[in-house]
């Protein structure tokens, strides 16, 4: 990981949640406990790219690429840091996105970050702090 300083601007959680919801595609870049029972996530926006893919060879799975467009991050994509503080944290789970489903209404507030590579469910008594960040490597 790079130790460069990152610029970040903390947002009101409603505005941060709206900006995250406005993203058509998301990836989880980082999931970790920053300290005991404090969950930190870095979520990156991804976009449907203009370039049309072509098969690399004759295999049937490669033929599925014909006419497809990739979903990737580019320089216009935003990255968000979410921090669920220990004073509010109840639980969290990380699922393979292929097996995620919308959960039943929980006793506490439920936050779900559905990305292309993971679905993260967090049960918390309070909202996360959200900041938009600039820079390359974030942990």
Domain locations along the chain: 7-134
E strands present in the chain: 7-11, 25-35, 38-52, 69-72, 79-84, 89-95, 109-114, 119-124, 129-134
pLDDT digits over 66-85, tens only?
Answer: 889 999 999 999 999 999 99
Question: What is the structure's pLDDT at 132?
Answer: 93
Mean per-residue pLDDT pooled into runs of 10, the chain (139 residues): 65 94 95 92 95 91 90 95 91 77 64 89 88 71
Q: What is the pLDDT of residue 78?
A: 95
Quick one: pLDDT at residue 89?
84
pLDDT in the model for residue 93: 84
pTM of the model: 0.72
Alpha-carbon distance 18 to 85, whole Å?
20
Closest CA to 120 of 8, 21, 43: 43
Question: What pLDDT score was predicted for residue 1?
Answer: 40
The per-residue pLDDT for 101 is 65
Closest to 119 measured CA to CA, from 110, 109, 132, 130:
110
């Amino acid at each position: 990981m790079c130790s460069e300083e990152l610029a970040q601007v903390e947002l009101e959680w409603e505005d941060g949640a709206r900006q995250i919801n406005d993203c058509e595609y998301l990836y989880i870049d980082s999931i970790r406990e920053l300290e005991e029972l404090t969950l930190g996530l870095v979520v990156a926006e991804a976009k449907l790219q203009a370039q049309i893919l072509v098969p690399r060879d004759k295999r049937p799975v490669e033929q599925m690429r014909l006419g497809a467009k990739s979903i990737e991050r580019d320089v216009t994509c935003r990255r968000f840091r979410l921090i669920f503080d220990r004073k509010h944290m109840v639980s969290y789970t990380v699922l393979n996105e292929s097996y995620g489903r919308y959960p039943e209404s929980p006793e506490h507030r439920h936050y779900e970050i559905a990305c292309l590579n993971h679905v993260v469910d967090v049960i918390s008594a309070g909202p996360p702090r959200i900041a938009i960040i600039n820079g390359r490597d974030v942990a």
